[in-house]
Chain A
Amino acid sequence: MKRFAVVLLVIAAAVTVGAQLQYPRPHTRAGEAWNPATSRPNPVTYRAHPRTQDPKYKVTPADIQRYERELSNWGRWGANDSRGALNLITPARTAAAARLVREGLSVNLQHFVEFFPSVDGWRFWPAEKWLTSANPQTGQQGDGAALDAVRFSTHEGTLSHLDAICHYDRRAPMLDIDPAYRVTYNNRRNRRDELSCQGTTGIPGMGTGYVTRGVLVDMPLMMGVTWLEPTTPIFVEDLERWERFAGITIGAGDALLIRTGRWAKRAAEGPWEYDQGGAGLHASVLPWLRARDVSLLVGDAVTDVQPSGVENAGRPVHTISMVAMGLPLVDNGYLEDAAREAARLKRWEFMISWQINQSLGGTAVPFNGVATF
């Protein structure tokens, strides 16, 4: 009996240590352990919106498998391509986008990391900023210039960030026997550990930056509400109704920005588990996104409606866009200022530019986007 207990103890210790060794535990700079709050004391349980189950829209796991093949862009821009749909941004489209600048008015499309915890932030690591020019004991600024440093997770819930195309992957084919590897866009192998998104599969493989046409779909404006309620799905018919409303046809090379009003709701009612219950695109829009040849998809929440309403697929828009189509996604885009100016000018197309921080390795970068009217 004692022997059994001892063996159990040893196994327990080994497992505990093993789990710790794989990834460091989140902690603040002061060394305090940080447990990401995944929900509030009385969390709301979100259910898939009933309309996602309407046979007219419903997407099944079999549809997702079909999308993987039918919507694939693998090989479209060569076997070694790592830019995916960003290839659709040609010099001619960039020059045309620059001609959309009439008022000469620029707005920021980024919500930056908050350096304090919230229900929708600090999920992966505490976000901290500190003065390196201050005395660490007293916090007093010294006699020199003011200097600071920052620390944050690149997929932070309060940060508008551009996912690396390699951020999402799927299981490798049966023939690929190494379980450490998975497959990303263009049949590139990717590890799911410290080596994930290395080299040209990662951020630098996507290029240094782009200028193209941005088209904003302002769903709350069209619906006559301040924001879409959590779990509200957006379907192709909504996007096409918007096209008629705004007098714009979404086309090849466009950056498509979908506003659900997440930041307006957050400003009015406070943060919530927007990644559990959030308005967004329903998976049935995927063939439409492929047909229109969108180059960048920007949401103000997680882009996918949450819950997805698709069995066994938490974020099917993420998976198919990135893995099959090579379409990069921006989560948590800040679309409030762009929406205000677009509504004032009654013009929902503009020049958009974004620069990509050339982080060697890594699965996301802050989305450094600018809209210019």
Chain B
Amino acid sequence: MKRLLLFSAVTVLTSSLLLAQRVVHPRETREGTVFDPAPATEKFQPHPSTQDPAVKVTLADLRRWEKELSNWGRWGAADQRGTLNLITPAKSRDAARLARDGVTVGLQHFVEWQPSRDGWRMAPAERWHTAAGLDAWSFATHDGTLSHMDALCHYWGSRASPSTRTPGSERVIFNGYPFDVDAKTGCRNLGIDRMGNAYVTRGALVDLPRLRKVNWLEPATPIFVSDLEEWERVANVKVSPGDVLMVRTGRWAMRDAKGPWAYDAGGAGLHASVLPWLHARGVSLLVGDAVNDVQPSGVEGIGRPIHQVGMVVMGLVFVDNGYLEDVAREAAARQRWEFMVTWQTWASQGGTASPWNALATF
């Protein structure tokens, strides 16, 4: 009898332990424990060309652009869409005329369900089965492996100087809204659900590796206005108001060939000196295949000046980590770097970003 009781007790104890493991196992990831991403081990230096006096940008330039490039009030005091306002019905209609071949490619790299050097920075990305044939997802909307559109509430600046983020200062976002983020309900203004969630417009792809006859731009390579205008001549496309401007650096091609790296510490991208040009051309959405800003920025005192001035001052909407490999292939095959782009974003209440659910159609 005693033996049986002991056996029973041991079985129950073992079972409980197994059960406890089942509950504890996801605790590292799904239960809210902070995931500790590996810090970048590589050290990247700003590209020397960013220090050339002809292009060099300083904090004083950014401060000047606070006024010169401002779109505050341009579409009304209550506006929540920023440069997406440049996508007019006429612009959408004209874009649809570009879908002549009827060939569609995806523009999104979706979040990877396993950790990597360039993913899982803010939260682990997981997919699991909740029952037979049913699954659930959990991931950070700004994940490094996810093509995502930033909400305009993502970046804040100081009221006195929106191109800077002074700790302890009064915080503002685009159009002068206060930076007001609630842990439960998210952004009170300029959240991803307030910016319109369905658009059709023209896409213009700038394929820099193709222009330079390389597979990808090396990390830290800056892109200047002269590069963009050289591409315009080669591709015979002029970037115009309401366009989605897609700037390919070849980040995904390099990742495929050599594996992920700390692309957000060392990545090719636009140099801050392009900001007035982006404003003048009326770009509605800026899509990069890495972080858009060249990293390091080469502007002393600020890590991502294009994000900072673009979002807070200009209301320019950004897509980071856009997947531009397939569209680059189709564009090159046709020698046509303009096409129709359609996208939908998730109306996540007060969200700071959404996966960029976009297609290019030739």
On A, residues with C-beta under 8 Å from B are: 2-3, 6, 9-10, 13-14, 16-17, 20-21, 23-26, 29-31, 90-96, 98-99, 101-110, 112-115, 124-125, 129-134, 136, 139-141, 143, 145-155, 167, 169, 192-194, 196-197, 208-211, 351, 353-364, 366, 368-372
Contacts and interface: CB of A to CB of B under 8 A. Distances in A.
A354 B352 CA distance: 22
Interface in B322-347: 326, 340, 342-344, 346-347
A108 B132 CA distance: 31
A234 B89 CA distance: 35
Given A110-B347, A130-B183, A152-B136, A359 B96 contact: no
Which 3 A-B pairs give the minimum distances between C-beta atoms?
A: A208-B106, A91-B102, A104-B89
Name which of A132, A136, A153 has the most chain B CB atoms within 10 A of its CB: A132
B88 to A, nearest CB: 7
Given A23-B129, A104-B88, A153-B134, A355 B108 contact: yes
Contacts of B99: 94-95, 98, 211
Contacts of A106: 92, 198-200, 342
A48 to B, nearest CB: 25
A357 B127 CA distance: 13
Contacts of B122: 132-133, 147, 149
Contact of A362 (B108, B135, B165): B135
Contacts of B156: 145-146
B287 to A, nearest CB: 14
Contact of A101 (B4, B19, B23, B93): B93
B105 interface: yes
B91 interface: yes
B130 A21 contact: no
B127 A134 contact: no
Contact of A14 (B11, B132, B136, B181): B11
Given A31-B31, A134-B181, A151-B137, 13 more contacts: A95-B100, A101-B92, A104-B89, A145-B154, A148-B142, A154-B136, A192-B133, A194-B129, A355-B342, A357-B108, A370-B199, A372-B92, A372-B96
B256 interface: no
B348 A150 contact: yes
Name which of B133, B138, B346, B352 has the most chain A CB atoms within 10 A of its CB: B133
Interface string B9-42: 0011001101100110011001110100000000
B130 A26 contact: yes
A314 to B, nearest CB: 14
A209 B106 contact: yes
Interface residues of B, number: 97
30 contacts: A2-B1, A2-B4, A16-B15, A20-B22, A24-B128, A25-B23, A31-B32, A91-B101, A94-B102, A94-B103, A101-B200, A104-B89, A104-B91, A105-B89, A105-B92, A106-B199, A115-B184, A131-B183, A136-B34, A141-B181, A148-B141, A153-B134, A154-B137, A169-B133, A194-B129, A358-B108, A359-B113, A368-B346, A369-B344, A371-B198
B4 A6 contact: yes
A155 B127 CA distance: 13
Contacts of B141: 147-150
A332 B168 CA distance: 45
B8 A136 contact: no
Nearest to B358: A355
Contact of A167 (B133, B198, B199): B133
Contacts of B113: 359-361
A354 B200 CA distance: 12
Nearest to A357: B110
B357 A357 contact: yes
A196 B186 contact: no
B137 A152 contact: yes
Interface of B: 1, 4-5, 7-8, 11-12, 15-16, 18-19, 22-23, 26-27, 30-32, 34, 88-94, 96-97, 99-110, 112-113, 122-123, 127-142, 151, 153-156, 165, 167, 179, 181-184, 186-187, 193, 197-200, 326, 340, 342-344, 346-353, 355, 357-359, 361
Main SS at interface, chain B: mixed
A113 B347 CA distance: 8
A110 to B, nearest CB: 6
B110 to A, nearest CB: 4
Contacts of B353: 147-148
Contacts of A94: 99, 102-104, 361
A356 B130 CA distance: 21
B289 to A, nearest CB: 16
A160 B90 CA distance: 29
Nearest to A106: B198
Contacts of B130: 23-24, 26, 124-125, 153
Contacts of A14: 11, 15
B137 A148 contact: no
Contacts of B16: 17
A208 B326 CA distance: 11
A163 to B, nearest CB: 10
Given A105-B89, A141-B181, A98 B96 contact: yes
Given A6-B8, A101-B92, A95 B137 contact: no
A194 B135 CA distance: 9
Contact of B359 (A10, A132, A353, A359): A353
B89 A357 contact: no
Nearest to A163: B133
Contacts of A26: 130
A197 B134 CA distance: 10
B256 to A, nearest CB: 15
Nearest to A103: B89
A321 to B, nearest CB: 16
Contact of B348 (A30, A129, A147, A355): A129
Contacts of A136: 32, 34
B343 A150 contact: no
Given A24-B22, A145-B156, A13 B15 contact: yes
Name which of B8, B31, B91 has the most chain A CB atoms within 10 A of its CB: B8
A152 to B, nearest CB: 6
Name which of A25, A115, A136, A211 has the most chain B CB atoms within 10 A of its CB: A211
Contact of A353 (B1, B12, B342): B342
B37 to A, nearest CB: 11
A345 B177 CA distance: 36
Given A95-B102, A211-B342, A211-B359, A149 B134 contact: no
B359 A208 contact: yes
B26 to A, nearest CB: 6
B358 to A, nearest CB: 6
